[in-house]
Amino acid sequence: MRIATWNVNSIRSRQEHLLAWLERSRPDVVGLQETKVPDGDFPHEPLAALGYQAAVSGQKTYNGVALLSPHGLEDVRVGFAALLPGDAEAEALGEQRRVISAWVEGVRIVDLYVPNGSALDSDKFAYKLAWLGCLHRYLDVQRAQGEPFCVLGDFNIAPEARDLHDPAGLEGGIMASDAEREALRACLGEDLQDAFRLFEPDAGHWSWWDYRGGGWPRNRGWRIDHVYLCPLLQERAMGCSIDRDERGRERPSDHAPVIVELADEPDGEDPEA
């Protein structure tokens, strides 16, 4: 099973890139972020022509998440409130379309677009920490479902110094602060593990290169797009890679896809056994 995440930074601008990539890579499920279109404008038809069903939660101009799969998307859940009914903060945070999940081929896929936070002294940073606190509650409920699950998306957080092109200059700032990292670790708990770090311990691997400041030609990147696996899926993990080629195309997204390969579950095996 091939599971991918990609912040496309506008489905309108990157539609042809996405269609070509799907045809080449054929993932079994992909989570998209920053689709930036209301649901009625999402390009269902060209995706269906490639065999992909889409579940979407979008809004005009900003944010937006989607899940794509050629195998069908079951039990689609939109927003934090899907698992946190009656939670006023979850309802309020749902105004920004950043969370969607679905059941695909025996796995619960949770697709997230975590707020950027802008600056440590801004209201947007306080919003980001509140959002991560709500994610913590959401994932605790998800764990209690007893489903094999993975959490993927653009986390807008570099978990460690090795995930930064310039640790000395960037550590402690936005997307690399102690507060953000601690909030993320609390969400992940002891069970969810970073799929990329199961296979690659070294620094120098990025998933996002800022359009500004020559980020791509100078290879000044960050690793902020992640796939986290529950213990059952960690046992099936065969590899994880970042498709840098997509960042080098004409008019690309500033993010590259991240792909995890899982071994098929043996026939008849009970995942709860």
Assigned domain for 202 exists = yes
pLDDT at 267: 56
Assigned domain for 269 exists = no
Assigned domain for 70 exists = yes
**Full residue range of the structural domain in which residue 112 is found:** 2-262
Mean pLDDT of 30-46: 98
Lookup: tokens for 1 = 């099973």
Mean pLDDT of 48-65: 98
Q: Which helix (H) or strand (E) holds 20?
A: helix 11-25
Task: Give the integer Cα–Cα distance in Å for 174 and 186.
Answer: 18
pLDDT at 266: 64
Mean pLDDT of 116-137: 98
Secondary structure (DSSP) of 197-223: GGT---S---SEE-TGGGTTTTT-EE-
Lookup: tokens for 215 = 């980020």
Q: What is the CATH number of the domain that holds 26?
A: 3.60.10.10
Q: Is the pLDDT of residue 195 over 70?
A: yes
Assigned domain for 208 exists = yes
Assigned domain for 270 exists = no
159-171 tens-digit pLDDT = 999 999 999 999 9
Pick the residue with more confidence: 225 or 269?
225
Number of domains in the chain: 1
Estimate the crossing angle of helix 123-144 against helix 178-188, to 10 degrees.
Answer: 10
Assigned domain for 272 exists = no
211-262 tens-digit pLDDT = 999 999 999 999 999 999 999 999 999 999 999 999 999 999 999 999 999 9
Assigned domain for 91 exists = yes
Q: Which of the following is catalytic: 154, 163, 194, 225?
A: 154
Is 113 assigned a catalytic role?
yes
Let me know how long the chain is: 273
Is 210 assigned a catalytic role?
no
Assigned domain for 229 exists = yes
Q: Which of the following is catalytic: 52, 113, 138, 228?
A: 113
Name the pTM for this structure: 0.96
Report angle CA 204, 155, 10 to the nearest 5 degrees.
Answer: 100
pLDDT at 272: 47
Task: Give the integer Cα–Cα distance in Å for 29 and 27.
Answer: 5
Q: Which residue type is seen at 94?
A: G
